[in-house]
């Protein structure tokens, strides 16, 4: 079997699109409060096809799954404690919120179940990427190792997802889960990048190229901080929602992290507008880079607008997953732009020397 370079690239791109779709679905799971729609993992209520009615479950199903969860959490706590994280292990073992077993809700169960099915599809796609990389081993061995890493990463992400469920969405675990998703996106984007025929047009003419490369790296670091600030705000909203049912009061209950998150976005927007202006001033600048920077500014503006809409319109549920999706798209475009800038930087140095 022969796998062409173009076919491998397309498979990578389809996988990236699928991962972003999963992030969107994950946002829907979060905004609808469906994260605990299935109390066990990898099955859902002990079955690969979940029930549609509470009548299909035994009368003591909550006590049953709580018992299983406690046993699993004790194993997790023991393992974590062995790595030196004793305080986290104690929290997993003793946090009373972890012991809350939600009643069956068919809608939430099936939302979470669909999320898991899409996760399985992602795993299969990444496995297909791994297998396909074997057929281009002679021409590009590096691709196989990155494909293997992405497969290990998605397997670990699935396992960690079971911990998120078992600990009843313990604060902090969701942030780690998001961080792993961003890392997976980076690996897949990098595989697309190194599989492309790079454009070396006029790299020596980009006088401010080194500055742009450094600024983009700073922008990526700042935006990762922004994403994790956003996850902290989201976790705060979950806690507030448990106390207050009126969505109109949620924003007023948020603390300092929300105001930092909101103001910080304007700093990130200003930085990227500055970078786009710097690039635009260069003669004969790269059209692909121009498009990337314009896309970044547009996406960041959309992110700011969606965040503003959530603040002024009582955090509507449909905007939350979109806000998350746009954020991860921004990071993906940032990373791909940085790879291109870094490549042109190396070519420029070769030409100058």
Q: Who has greater pLDDT, 263 or 239?
A: 263
Section 330-340 average pLDDT = 94
In this structure, the number of other CB atoms found within 10 A of the CB of residue 31 comes to: 21
Whether 127 and 187 map to the same domain: the answer is: yes
Residue 111 CA, distance from chain mean position: 18
Tally of CA atoms within 13 A in the half-sphere of 237 that contains its CB: 23
The tens digit of pLDDT for each residue in 65-89 reads 888 888 888 888 888 888 887 887 8
Cα–Cα nearest to 222, from 230, 234, 233: 230
Whether 38 and 110 map to the same domain: the answer is: yes
Alpha-carbon distances, residue 164 vs 20, 94, 146, 276, 343 (angstroms): 20, 16, 26, 39, 38
pLDDT of residue 56: 92
Whether 152 and 231 map to the same domain: the answer is: no
Indicate if the pLDDT at residue 260 is higher than 80.
yes
Domain boundary among 141, 172, 197: 197
pTM of the model: 0.88
In this structure, the number of other CB atoms found within 10 A of the CB of residue 167 comes to: 22
Q: Which residue has the tokens 């409060």?
A: 33
Count of structural domains within the chain:
2
Whether 93 and 147 map to the same domain: the answer is: yes
Whether 147 and 287 map to the same domain: the answer is: no
Cα–Cα nearest to 116, from 60, 53, 45, 179: 45
Domain boundary among 140, 168, 197: 197
Whether 58 and 157 map to the same domain: the answer is: yes
Q: pLDDT band for position 53 (50/70/90)?
A: very high
Axis crossing angle, helix 209-243 with helix 173-195, rounded to the nearest 10: 150
Whether 132 and 263 map to the same domain: the answer is: no
Task: Write out the residue range of the structural domain in which residue 136 sits.
Answer: 1-197
Whether 280 and 164 map to the same domain: the answer is: no
Alpha-carbon distances, residue 347 vs 140, 202, 208, 222 (angstroms): 21, 10, 14, 27
Whether 137 and 244 map to the same domain: the answer is: no
Whether 86 and 120 map to the same domain: the answer is: yes
Indicate if the pLDDT at residue 118 is higher than 90.
yes
Indicate if the pLDDT at residue 285 is higher than 70.
no
Whether 184 and 217 map to the same domain: the answer is: no
Cα–Cα nearest to 120, from 199, 225, 44: 44
* Residue 295 belongs to domain with CATH number: 1.20.120
Whether 29 and 43 map to the same domain: the answer is: yes
pLDDT of residue 221: 95
- Share the mean pLDDT of the chain: 86
Domain boundary among 197, 212, 245: 197
């Amino acid at each position: 079997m022969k796998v062409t370079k173009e076919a491998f690239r397309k498979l990578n791109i389809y996988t990236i699109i699928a991962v972003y779709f999963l992030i969107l679905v994950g946002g829907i799971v979060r905004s609808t409060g469906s994260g605990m729609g299935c109390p066990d993992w990898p099955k859902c209520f002990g079955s690969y096809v979940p029930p549609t009615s509470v009548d299909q479950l035994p009368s003591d199903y909550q006590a049953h799954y709580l018992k299983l969860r406690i046993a699993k959490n004790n194993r997790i706590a023991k393992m974590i404690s062995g790595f030196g994280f004793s305080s986290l292990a104690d929290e997993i073992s003793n946090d009373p919120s972890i012991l809350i077993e939600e009643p069956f809700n068919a809608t939430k169960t099936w939302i979470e179940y669909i999320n898991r099915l899409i996760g399985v599809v992602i795993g299969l796609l990444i496995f297909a990427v791994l297998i396909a990389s074997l057929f281009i081993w002679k021409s590009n061995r590096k691709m196989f190792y990155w494909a293997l890493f992405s497969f290990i990463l998605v397997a670990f992400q699935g396992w960690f997802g079971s911990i998120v469920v078992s600990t009843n969405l313990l604060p902090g675990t969701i942030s780690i889960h998001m961080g792993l998703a961003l890392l997976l996106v980076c690996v897949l984007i990098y595989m697309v990048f190194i599989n492309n025929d790079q454009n070396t047009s006029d790299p020596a003419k980009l006088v401010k190229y080194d500055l742009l490369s450094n600024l983009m790296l700073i922008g990526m670091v700042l935006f990762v901080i922004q994403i994790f600030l956003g996850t902290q705000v989201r976790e705060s909203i979950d806690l507030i929602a448990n106390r207050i049912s009126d969505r109109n009061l949620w924003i007023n209950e948020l603390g300092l992290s929300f105001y930092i998150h909101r103001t910080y976005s304007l700093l990130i927007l200003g930085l990227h507008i500055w970078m786009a202006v710097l690039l635009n001033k260069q003669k004969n600048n790269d059209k692909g880079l121009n498009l990337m920077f314009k896309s970044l500014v547009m996406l960041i503006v959309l992110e700011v607008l969606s965040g503003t809409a959530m603040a002024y319109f009582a955090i509507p549920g449909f905007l939350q997953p979109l806000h998350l999706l746009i954020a991860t798209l921004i990071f993906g475009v940032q990373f791909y732009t940085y790879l291109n800038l870094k490549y042109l930087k190396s070519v420029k140095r070769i030409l100058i020397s």
